[in-house]
Structure 1
């Protein structure tokens, strides 16, 4: 009650123009001070070496005006063309407002749709494609000359697709990789904040092993009494129009809003490289290059398990080489110690199984150790298999996301069942259960029917309260098996990243 009263007094003070209220209090981010960090606008794109020297190495953002318009997809990608040429390809879905939207249900399940189905429904629903760009679409998109050779071209990590009907709003956040974000349709309004201001952005807690992150502040109404240091943050305010690209350095904070229907962008993510290797640049045509002619570390065919957010294998390889150089060799036990340290919330036995499987991918001869030469000789497919073997798939990348996202064993779910049993003391029909599961938990009919099959039996369309109570644990077994291991700040504090050799964060 006291806190409510204090908040009301704050609002009254703002209304009366109280002198102690900071400028921009309870207003959108940016009202605390005018934008004064200039972002270069480039109409003639720099060659890769210049781009590295003047932007990437300095972690300096830049706008490439007109660069996205050079891709065939800029004119080809009408809704009719996308539906006809690529309609069967699948895409990953999110809600349009990061902290205030649930996970949409698409034709392929929770958080998964076909492009054709999305194009039929996206104007009527709170739905937004945030997905890997399916590989068949690569031929319609060109990477800009500035990253067309050397280890910027050779270390593309993934390519992402963003599409909505506009009116999307992100939180204030940073991303792990360097990115060239190219707008194919619509308009995006970017508020950019250099990484050096992170100390004043009130970053939310996240595990030490993570590289991305976001701010606690509400970008639409910043409480400067609660978060006073935000007032010190200098920032940039830019508009990216259809046909433009934005280079956003790794760990550069940003908040993005979109307008225009449709709004569509492609984002090229490349490694957190620490120096530019121009190998091959003399033999490469420095020009706009079809993405289909470039090797992408984690590409996705448009069906099955996505690889969005997978580890950068070049980063892992470099750390393995450093360790083997220092110690003369590297063993399975070295990796096991590292992974167990960095993932303290997981069962050691389970982690050990993952590591053993991943080690066998690298140690093909079975000699029990790897030298720097062994590590250097491994091909890229082996590195991909190694990462996939050692780290579980991010649930939202899979077709079984609902087992992880819907907490079918939660108190909320059990309360729903209790209410249904009270309302229907004799028997509950399949239709009633499915309606409550999809409406109150946001799940799909298919998974609701799977639960009901377990509660009542596959051939039955009704279940008694007695059957539900007797069968609940077995009916929810898959959901309970996939409950995530929770990493708390207290558990995370049990180790320091200096004790981690292979998975350490490189800012």
Structure 2
């Protein structure tokens, strides 16, 4: 029968597929059930439907062709970006290594320097969208609703020559990512349905240490038994990553994308019915570009009690972090060791733990946390704020303690040791000393 083969193939592709016991060594997303992420054409006509069904309802979605509505889709060539005088001195953050490694320090360079190097280097730009380029990107229409003013957090540019591979991770925000050049492959896992299967073994950074190119199912057995939602994103498409959905992203070819992060908990609290008629696709509508909106920064999340409650509860419930030492290890140890202030950080997290250990028995659990009154969670929030301020003070103190001898490097010896030079340049200690970095 004509067309029967394609019909059968379509049915097979649409169906769930099961995998049995897997051998180690295959790439992430190969096991378990596979299902395609739902797709719509461009932006939805009714923003309320998207916000309620997908944002509040927590489901990923692909918007085919939606990124074509931004001038960036046709404008953002290397030559266009280099045409801005600001590209010569606007500093961007660049990751060394297209396969993400969160223990590796990032480096800073000008946008011009990055563009001159990225096609031949193992480099990946991850930085806030430069101010002079924000006028080229349309804020996704569902986020243009006045009711959502004040909850936009950050807009990030992702730029490489392709071949990047993210770690398996989740974001504690909602996220729309628009691809202007190249393509991406995204794999999602539902964090609620498979909470007992997902091993986020780096809770301090919301990521898993699994090798995305060669999964060790002996170490991470749960990844054999989850449902994987797959999406292939082409240039001109956008996609929605729901709050806390675990995902892994690969990019291909010259690749430029921009994502918008916004607060999930604040969205849920809004009267979303007021967003009924907020759709703008007019490229001439300058009022709808990114430069016309305020982004409050991820630091503003520290004021969200609901988020703090959820993060702490998840650590206790799913990671078994139930005592003072565990809280210190997750939240404070890395910072404390870098800044040599272990005693001070331990004292801070001892105070924090006392607030969540209501009965004072030295351990806490999910039931105890769920019974904590809001006032106690406000106390926890204040301790996290205290921790941030303490780290800033310790960082300043470390810089003040550096002597001239500490800062002196013999020029001849320095030039003969390029690896040492790179270490100096990568060291975050020098972020607060631009003159020193320039000299290096």
State the TM-score bracket (shorter-chain normalisation): 0.5 to 0.7
210, 213, 218: which one pairs with 1:225? 218
- Is residue 163 from structure 1 mapped to residue 154 from structure 2 by the alignment? no
Give ranges in structure 1 of 5+ residues lacking alignment: 1-20, 105-110, 299-308, 321-337, 353-371, 376-385, 409-427, 451-507
Deviations 1:328-364 (A, max 9, x none): xxxxxxxxxx99x975865549999xxxxxxxxxxxx
5+ residue gaps, structure 2, are 1-19, 282-287, 310-326, 337-341, 349-374, 379-384, 403-408, 431-440
Residue 433 (structure 2) aligns with: none
Q: Quick check: 1:99 aligned with 2:101?
A: yes
Partner of 2:299: 310
Determine the C-alpha separation between the residues in 1 that align with 2:426 and 2:101. 26
The answer to whether the 8 A contact 1:166-1:260 is kept is yes
CA distance in 2, matches of 1:124, 1:141: 27
Are 1:131 and 2:127 counterparts?
A: yes
Secondary structure at 2:416's aligned position in 1? helix
Given the superposition, is the C-alpha separation of residues 233 and 34 from structure 1 closer, same or farther in structure 2, using an over 3 Å criterion?
closer
Alignment equivalent of 1:204, drawn from 187, 201, 204: 201
Give 1:214 shift: 1.3
Q: In the alignment, which residue of structure 1 is the partner of 2:260?
A: 268
1:435 aligns with 2:429: no
Structure number, greater radius of gyration: 1
How far did residue 238 of structure 1 move? 1.0
Structure 1 residue runs of 4 or more that deviate by more than 6 Å after TM superposition: 317-320, 349-352, 386-389
CA deviations 1:404-435 (Å, max 9, x no partner) are xxxx9xxxxxxxxxxxxxxxxxxx96423443
- Counterpart Cα distance in 1 of 2:90 and 2:23: 45
Deviations 1:13-51 (A, max 9, x none): xxxxxxxx9335311122223512543334351433211
Whole-angstrom CA distance in 2 between matches of 1:283 and 1:204: 41
Residue 257 of structure 1, aligned match among 247, 250, 260? 250
Aligned to 2:116: 120
Deviations along 1:248-297, one digit per CA (max 9) or x if unpaired, are 01111111111012x00101000022625248947975324211221211
Asked if structure 2 preserves the Cα contact closer than 8 Å seen for 1:131 and 1:160, the reply is yes
> Residue 51 of structure 1 aligns to a residue in which SS?
helix
Bigger drift between 181-190 and 226-235 goes to: 226-235
TM-score, normalised via structure 2 length? 0.65
SS state of the match for residue 35, structure 2?
Answer: coil
> In structure 2, what is the Cα distance between the partners aligned to 1:180 and 1:232?
27
92-101 or 165-174, which moves further after superposition? Answer: 92-101
Q: In the alignment, is the contact (CA less than 8 A) between 2:147 and 2:271 conserved in 1?
A: yes
2:168 aligned with 1:172, yes or no? yes
**Offset at 1:187?**
0.4
